[in-house]
């Protein structure tokens, strides 16, 4: 199989990345519905719906804003306007969704933690999306720098690069297993599962950014890395308690 993987069906080239991106949203949501039916949700259905709406709008805005900040070049051509409509990043979506949820909860005066139920559907959705990113090769900015190590792969431009998307898939599978182990063997405060996911995932993304050929850096760090730092500041109490526990 060649990378980028662009199958032709009935004479039409199929955008496999776009298909898997939509599949990630659909399957992730269906998994959320499945999990919700199996637990006693402490949050009323009407409030849960408001929280989901807040998450959707927050994720949409956050993904677009951080997507722009990854390479903040302003142009007024029609091509650039189309680019602005399509640019996005999961990191901005996650943090924007988090802020959207917190805003929605303040509006409806809901005090209970709501993130745990979203944790595994989000991980599943990211894994499916990253499969699409890997198959897209250099058409998506999820590839790494050039390398001569055994980890290098030709992602479509004849250059051996770090397959960042594959690294992320492996990490998320391991993180899923770790969170399940924690969930089954420890008593924990509601909402802690989601916080551990966010802290761990943003730590991974902070580290993996050093393997990406970023062109826009401030003091040696990318915009995504600064967002990771912001996330850790947001969860500083949880991180501090985690260190004290060990």
**Residue whose C-alpha is closest to residue 135's, from 24, 224, 15:** 15
Tokens 């409806």 belong to residue: 108
For residue 18, what pLDDT is reported?
Answer: 86
pLDDT level of residue 170 (50, 70, 90 thresholds)? very high
Mean pLDDT across the chain: 86
Q: Which of 58-67, 127-136, 162-171 has the lowest mean pLDDT?
A: 58-67
For residue 242, what pLDDT is reported?
Answer: 78
pLDDT level of residue 77 (50, 70, 90 thresholds)? low
Average pLDDT over residues 120-147: 91
Q: How many CA atoms lie within 13 A of 84 on its CB side?
A: 13
How close are the terminal C-alpha atoms of the chain, in Å? 46
Average pLDDT over residues 194-208: 95
Burial label for 103, CB within 10 Å (0-12, 13-18, 19+), is middle
Phi, psi of 154 (to 5 degrees): -85, 110
Evaluate if pTM is beyond 0.85. yes
Average pLDDT over residues 50-72: 81
pLDDT level of residue 83 (50, 70, 90 thresholds)? low
Please, which contacts does 178-182 make with residues 24 or more away whose CB atoms are closer than 8 Å? 179/119, 179/120
Whether residue 111 is preceded by a cis peptide bond, meaning omega within 30 degrees of 0, is: no
- Spatial distance between the Cα atoms of 230 and 211, rounded to a whole number of angstroms: 21
Average pLDDT over residues 231-235: 94
Please write the tens of the pLDDT for every residue from 107-125.
888 887 777 889 999 999 9
Average pLDDT over residues 2-6: 77
**Residue whose C-alpha is closest to residue 206's, from 181, 171, 173, 237:** 171
Beta strand residue intervals within 133-232, DSSP E: 153-154, 160-161
For residue 208, what pLDDT is reported?
Answer: 94
- Spatial distance between the Cα atoms of 160 and 162, rounded to a whole number of angstroms: 7
**12: enclosing H helix or E strand:** strand 12-13
DSSP bridge pairs for 153: 161
Residue 186: pLDDT above 80? yes
* Per-residue tokens: 45: 């259905």
pLDDT level of residue 3 (50, 70, 90 thresholds)? confident
Residue 147: pLDDT above 60? yes
Residue 168: pLDDT above 60? yes
């Amino acid at each position: 199989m060649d990378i980028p993987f662009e199958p032709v069906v009935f004479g039409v080239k199929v955008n496999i990345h776009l298909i898997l991106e939509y599949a990630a949203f659909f399957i992730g949501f269906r998994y959320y519905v499945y999990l919700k039916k199996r637990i006693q949700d402490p949050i009323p259905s009407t409030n849960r719906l408001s929280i989901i709406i807040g998450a959707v709008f927050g994720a949409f805005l956050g993904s677009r804003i951080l997507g722009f900040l990854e390479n903040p070049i302003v142009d007024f051509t029609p091509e650039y306007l189309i680019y602005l409509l399509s640019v996005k990043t999961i990191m901005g979506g996650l943090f924007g969704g988090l802020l959207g949820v917190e805003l929605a909860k303040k509006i409806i005066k809901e005090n209970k933690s709501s993130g745990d139920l979203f944790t595994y559907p989000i991980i599943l959705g990211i894994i499916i999306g990253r499969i699409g990113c890997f198959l897209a090769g250099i058409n998506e900015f999820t590839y790494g720098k050039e390398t001569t190590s055994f980890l290098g792969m030709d992602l479509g431009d004849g250059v051996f690069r770090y397959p960042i998307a594959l690294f992320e898939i492996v990490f998320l599978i391991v993180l899923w297993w770790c969170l399940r182990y924690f969930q089954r063997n420890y008593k924990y405060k509601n909402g802690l599962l989601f916080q551990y996911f966010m802290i761990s995932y943003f730590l991974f993304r902070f580290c993996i950014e050093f393997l990406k050929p970023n062109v826009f850096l401030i003091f040696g760090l990318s915009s995504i890395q600064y967002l990771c730092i912001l996330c850790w500041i947001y969860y500083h109490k949880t991180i501090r308690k985690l260190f004290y526990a060990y």
